[in-house]
Amino acid sequence: MSKTIFGIDIGGSTIKCGVFDGDAELVIKEEIPTRTQENGKYILVDIAQYIIKTIEKNAIQISDILGIGIGIPGAIRNDGAVNKCVNLGWGVVYVADELSKMINVSKDCIHIANDANVAALGEFFKGSGKGYHSIMMLTIGTGVGGGLILDGHIVNGFHGAAAEIGHLPVVEGLDYACSCGNTGCLEQVASASGIARLAGTNNAKEAFDKAIAGDKAMDAVIENVSKYLAKGMACIAGVVDPECFIIGGGVSAAGEYFLQKIRKYYQMFAFHASKDTTIVKALLENDAGIYGAAKLVLGDLQSVHGESEND
């Protein structure tokens, strides 16, 4: 293997690892456990060991590593620090500084971003967002995350909290708080756990399965969830007006049944100029993060769709 890119996607239970060639073609895909014990102090050690072993096993030269991209479930400050990752047990961690010492590469070789933003970048680069210039991706799983790409660039925001659609305060009448401490967040009703809570089922899949099979009560729950999601998306469209919304995460497995409901309510809520915005399902599924992490490394080496910047 000549030129090599590592794309790493850190999740709460597993770390997805992709090894790409210089043309961003996936060559190796593996997973390692996310060890969150002792405030997550083993996570970067495990990533470093994985990279070192992969380098040795595949006879990769350090000089041939174009870079290491990492998606992290937390806010990234402008100084490169991860500003707390509750799910990992991290406080403030300077990932590039620490990992570069473990692998003996320059910290400039390591590129980090919020995991939802990285997943959006992956879909933009190689998935459902390919061919667009701006997309907004929603990842609907344990929570509701968001990633915004405008003109090929991730939008982070001043505090690293841009596109946090799950915490838009669009739900009224709730008497319990969100994990963020506020009440009325979209995530409280549109996440997998929120859907299960509204439906009184063991999980969101059970609610969707029953609704698709014709259970009217479950269908009403999904209608309500779709309404709130669409309202949040209409708010986003009123500010950034993306070309395309991409729905990802585990709940997106409901496919067109779910998408049709979201589209219906989005048409009701969106400003007239944005009503026809495309809404599609994510294509890359669990691989979006590693592709996006690889794209973090490529940066301006090639355009977002693999063409020369001068074309």
Nearest 5 degrees, angle CA 246-CA 248-CA 252? Answer: 110
Nearest 5 degrees, angle CA 189-CA 195-CA 201? Answer: 145
What is the pLDDT averaged over residues 263-270? Answer: 98
Mean pLDDT for all residues in the chain: 91
What is the pLDDT averaged over residues 165-175? Answer: 94
**Are the C-beta atoms of residues 246 and 281 closer than 8 Å to each other?**
yes
Where residue 176 falls (left for φ over 0; alpha for ψ -120 to 50; beta otherwise) is beta
What pLDDT, on a 0 to 100 scale, did the predictor assign at position 1? 58
Check whether 307 has a pLDDT greater than 80: no
Q: Which helix (H) or strand (E) holds 294?
A: helix 288-298
DSSP state of 156: -
**Residue closest to 175 by CA, chosen among 206, 197, 146, 199:** 197
Overall residue count recorded for the chain in this entry: 311
> How confident is the model over 42-90, as pLDDT tens digits?
999 999 999 999 999 999 988 899 999 999 988 888 788 888 887 798 9
Q: Give the integer Cα–Cα distance in Å for 24 and 307.
A: 12
> How confident is the model over 111-141, as pLDDT tens digits?
999 998 999 999 999 999 999 999 999 999 8
What pLDDT, on a 0 to 100 scale, did the predictor assign at position 236? 96
Contacts for 87-94 with beta carbons within 8 Å, 24 or more apart?
Answer: 87/12, 87/36, 88/10, 88/12, 88/34, 88/36, 88/40, 88/43, 89/36, 89/37, 89/38, 89/39, 89/40, 90/39, 90/40, 90/43, 91/39, 93/44
Any bridge partners for residue 4, and if so which?
21, 65
**Are the C-beta atoms of residues 182 and 171 closer than 8 Å to each other?**
no
**Are the C-beta atoms of residues 1 and 64 closer than 8 Å to each other?**
yes
What pLDDT, on a 0 to 100 scale, did the predictor assign at position 143? 86
Nearest 5 degrees, angle CA 88-CA 92-CA 95? Answer: 75
> How confident is the model over 5-51, as pLDDT tens digits?
999 999 888 999 999 998 899 999 999 999 999 999 999 999 999 99
Q: Which helix (H) or strand (E) holds 21?
A: strand 14-21
> How confident is the model over 217-261, as pLDDT tens digits?
999 999 999 999 999 999 999 999 999 999 998 899 999 999 999
Is the pLDDT higher at 302 or at 138?
138
What pLDDT, on a 0 to 100 scale, did the predictor assign at position 9? 95
Q: Give the integer Cα–Cα distance in Å for 234 and 122.
A: 23
The alpha helices in 5-160, defined as continuous H runs, are 37-40, 43-57, 95-103, 115-126
Distance spanning both ends of the chain, measured CA to CA:
28
Check whether 151 has a pLDDT greater than 60: yes
